[in-house]
Amino acid sequence: MAVMHSSLTSAANHYATIHHSIMGDLMLISNIRSLYIDNSTAYIRRVFLEAAAAAVMVVVVVVVAAVAVQSYT
């Protein structure tokens, strides 16, 4: 009886260890996934901000050029 109890306890501990390991892996995957998503959204945001800054610079250059052309004519 003690051997069976010991075997069941060992099996339960083994299952708990595997379950703990799987849950840890799932949490790690979830953390990596959320980090990747956060980084990609930050990257996309940065790209949009850089594109907006470039567009503003183009508008400024066009306006300055138009004012310069109009002041010479």
Give the containing element (helix H, strand E) for 54: helix 2-72
Which of the 8 DSSP states describes residue 73? -
Give the model's pLDDT for residue 4: 53
Give the model's pLDDT for residue 3: 52
Amino acid identity for residue 20 in this structure: H
Please state, in angstroms and as integers, the Cα–Cα distance from residue 43 to each residue in 3, 40, 58, following that order: 59, 5, 22
pLDDT, tens digit, 9 for 90 and up, residues 46-57: 888 889 988 999
Count Cβ atoms below 10 Å from residue 57 Cβ, excluding itself.
10
Listed as ranges, residues in the chain with pLDDT below 50 are none
For residues 33 and 45, what is the distance between their CA atoms, to the nearest angstrom?
Answer: 18
Give me the domain span that covers residue 15.
1-72
